[in-house]
Amino acid sequence: MDVNNDILSNAPLISAFSAWLIAQFLKPFISKMMGDGFNPHMFLSTGGMPSSHSATVIALTTSVGIKLGIGSIPFAVCLIFSIIVIHDAMNIRLEAGKQADVINEWSKILSDIHKDKPFKQEHLKTMLGHSFSQVFVGLLLGILVGVAVTWFVSPW
Protein backbone atom coordinates (compact mmCIF):
# COMPACT_ATOMS: atom_id res chain seq x y z
CA MET A 1 0.00 0.00 0.00
CA ASP A 2 1.36 3.41 -1.01
CA VAL A 3 1.10 5.76 1.97
CA ASN A 4 1.51 9.48 1.38
CA ASN A 5 2.38 11.42 4.54
CA ASP A 6 2.83 14.78 2.79
CA ILE A 7 0.00 16.91 4.20
CA LEU A 8 0.68 19.61 1.62
CA SER A 9 -0.40 17.21 -1.14
CA ASN A 10 -3.69 16.36 0.59
CA ALA A 11 -6.03 18.18 -1.80
CA PRO A 12 -9.27 17.40 0.14
CA LEU A 13 -7.81 18.77 3.38
CA ILE A 14 -6.40 21.88 1.73
CA SER A 15 -9.66 22.40 -0.18
CA ALA A 16 -11.75 22.24 2.98
CA PHE A 17 -9.47 24.53 4.95
CA SER A 18 -9.20 27.00 2.05
CA ALA A 19 -12.97 27.16 1.61
CA TRP A 20 -13.42 27.84 5.33
CA LEU A 21 -10.75 30.55 5.26
CA ILE A 22 -12.21 32.26 2.18
CA ALA A 23 -15.77 32.14 3.53
CA GLN A 24 -14.71 33.58 6.90
CA PHE A 25 -12.67 36.29 5.18
CA LEU A 26 -15.65 37.32 3.01
CA LYS A 27 -18.24 37.56 5.82
CA PRO A 28 -17.50 41.07 7.16
CA PHE A 29 -17.18 42.51 3.65
CA ILE A 30 -20.45 40.98 2.46
CA SER A 31 -22.10 42.19 5.67
CA LYS A 32 -20.93 45.72 4.86
CA MET A 33 -22.17 45.46 1.26
CA MET A 34 -25.59 44.31 2.53
CA GLY A 35 -25.87 47.39 4.74
CA ASP A 36 -25.13 45.79 8.10
CA GLY A 37 -21.77 47.50 8.50
CA PHE A 38 -18.28 46.08 8.73
CA ASN A 39 -17.93 43.85 11.79
CA PRO A 40 -14.40 42.46 12.23
CA HIS A 41 -15.72 39.87 14.72
CA MET A 42 -17.33 38.12 11.74
CA PHE A 43 -13.89 36.98 10.59
CA LEU A 44 -14.17 34.22 13.22
CA SER A 45 -17.90 34.01 13.93
CA THR A 46 -20.60 31.55 12.94
CA GLY A 47 -23.55 32.60 10.83
CA GLY A 48 -23.57 35.15 8.05
CA MET A 49 -22.92 35.06 4.30
CA PRO A 50 -21.48 32.78 3.02
CA SER A 51 -21.89 29.73 5.20
CA SER A 52 -18.38 28.57 6.04
CA HIS A 53 -19.86 25.27 7.25
CA SER A 54 -21.35 24.60 3.82
CA ALA A 55 -18.27 25.82 1.95
CA THR A 56 -15.96 23.62 4.06
CA VAL A 57 -17.86 20.34 3.80
CA ILE A 58 -18.71 20.79 0.12
CA ALA A 59 -15.08 21.64 -0.77
CA LEU A 60 -14.04 18.45 1.05
CA THR A 61 -16.71 16.38 -0.71
CA THR A 62 -15.93 17.89 -4.12
CA SER A 63 -12.21 17.23 -3.77
CA VAL A 64 -12.74 13.65 -2.55
CA GLY A 65 -15.12 13.08 -5.48
CA ILE A 66 -12.52 14.37 -7.94
CA LYS A 67 -9.64 12.38 -6.43
CA LEU A 68 -11.37 9.08 -5.60
CA GLY A 69 -14.52 9.13 -7.73
CA ILE A 70 -18.15 9.67 -6.84
CA GLY A 71 -18.63 5.92 -6.52
CA SER A 72 -16.06 5.61 -3.74
CA ILE A 73 -16.85 4.95 -0.10
CA PRO A 74 -14.98 8.06 1.11
CA PHE A 75 -17.10 10.20 -1.25
CA ALA A 76 -20.28 8.62 0.14
CA VAL A 77 -19.12 9.34 3.71
CA CYS A 78 -18.29 12.96 2.82
CA LEU A 79 -21.62 13.45 1.04
CA ILE A 80 -23.67 12.18 3.99
CA PHE A 81 -21.51 14.25 6.37
CA SER A 82 -22.13 17.33 4.19
CA ILE A 83 -25.89 16.80 4.14
CA ILE A 84 -25.98 16.51 7.94
CA VAL A 85 -23.83 19.63 8.47
CA ILE A 86 -25.85 21.71 6.00
CA HIS A 87 -29.16 20.53 7.47
CA ASP A 88 -27.94 21.44 10.94
CA ALA A 89 -26.72 24.87 9.79
CA MET A 90 -29.99 25.71 8.06
CA ASN A 91 -32.47 24.27 10.53
CA ILE A 92 -31.38 23.52 14.07
CA ARG A 93 -28.83 26.32 14.51
CA LEU A 94 -31.07 28.84 12.70
CA GLU A 95 -33.97 28.07 15.05
CA ALA A 96 -31.66 28.30 18.08
CA GLY A 97 -30.67 31.79 16.88
CA LYS A 98 -34.34 32.82 16.62
CA GLN A 99 -34.93 31.60 20.17
CA ALA A 100 -31.90 33.57 21.35
CA ASP A 101 -33.42 36.72 19.77
CA VAL A 102 -36.62 36.25 21.79
CA ILE A 103 -34.73 35.53 25.01
CA ASN A 104 -32.54 38.61 24.52
CA GLU A 105 -35.66 40.76 23.98
CA TRP A 106 -37.20 39.42 27.19
CA SER A 107 -33.92 40.07 28.96
CA LYS A 108 -34.10 43.75 27.90
CA ILE A 109 -37.68 43.98 29.17
CA LEU A 110 -36.67 42.46 32.52
CA SER A 111 -33.76 44.90 32.76
CA ASP A 112 -36.17 47.80 32.29
CA ILE A 113 -38.55 46.43 34.92
CA HIS A 114 -35.72 45.91 37.45
CA LYS A 115 -33.97 49.27 37.04
CA ASP A 116 -33.71 49.75 40.82
CA LYS A 117 -31.67 46.57 41.37
CA PRO A 118 -29.07 44.97 39.14
CA PHE A 119 -30.27 42.47 36.60
CA LYS A 120 -27.54 40.68 34.68
CA GLN A 121 -28.36 40.51 31.03
CA GLU A 122 -26.68 37.58 29.34
CA HIS A 123 -26.89 37.96 25.58
CA LEU A 124 -27.20 34.76 23.68
CA LYS A 125 -25.59 34.51 20.29
CA THR A 126 -28.35 34.97 17.75
CA MET A 127 -26.41 34.40 14.53
CA LEU A 128 -25.96 30.66 14.90
CA GLY A 129 -27.53 29.28 11.76
CA HIS A 130 -27.86 30.09 8.09
CA SER A 131 -30.58 30.95 5.63
CA PHE A 132 -30.97 28.97 2.43
CA SER A 133 -29.16 31.66 0.41
CA GLN A 134 -26.21 31.70 2.83
CA VAL A 135 -25.91 27.91 2.61
CA PHE A 136 -26.30 27.97 -1.19
CA VAL A 137 -23.50 30.53 -1.60
CA GLY A 138 -21.34 28.47 0.78
CA LEU A 139 -22.11 25.38 -1.29
CA LEU A 140 -21.07 27.13 -4.52
CA LEU A 141 -17.93 28.47 -2.86
CA GLY A 142 -17.10 24.96 -1.62
CA ILE A 143 -17.44 23.47 -5.09
CA LEU A 144 -15.27 26.19 -6.66
CA VAL A 145 -12.57 25.93 -4.01
CA GLY A 146 -12.68 22.12 -4.03
CA VAL A 147 -12.15 22.00 -7.79
CA ALA A 148 -9.53 24.78 -7.87
CA VAL A 149 -7.42 23.52 -4.97
CA THR A 150 -7.58 19.90 -6.08
CA TRP A 151 -6.45 20.94 -9.58
CA PHE A 152 -3.67 23.11 -8.14
CA VAL A 153 -2.39 20.55 -5.60
CA SER A 154 -2.57 17.51 -7.84
CA PRO A 155 -3.79 18.10 -11.42
CA TRP A 156 -5.86 15.33 -12.97
Question: pLDDT tens digit string along 86-101?
Answer: 888 877 766 777 777 7
pLDDT of res. 107: 73
pLDDT grade, residue 117 (50/70/90)?
A: low
Q: How far apart are CA 135 and CA 138, in angstroms?
A: 5
Distance between CA 116 and CA 102 in Å, rounded?
24
Instruction: Give the amino acid at 34.
Output: M
Segment 71-81, tens digit of pLDDT:
999 999 999 99
Q: Which of 34-38, 119-123, 125-129, 136-140 has the lowest mean pLDDT?
A: 119-123
Contact (Cβ atoms closer than 8 angstroms) between residue 131 and residue 144: no
Cα 15 to Cα 20, 140, 155, 156, distances in angstroms:
9, 13, 13, 15
Q: Is the pLDDT of residue 125 over 80?
A: no
Looking at residue 128, its pLDDT comes to 59
20, pLDDT greater than 90: yes
Highest mean pLDDT among 58-67, 90-99, 114-123: 58-67
Residue 68's pLDDT band (boundaries 50, 70, 90)?
very high
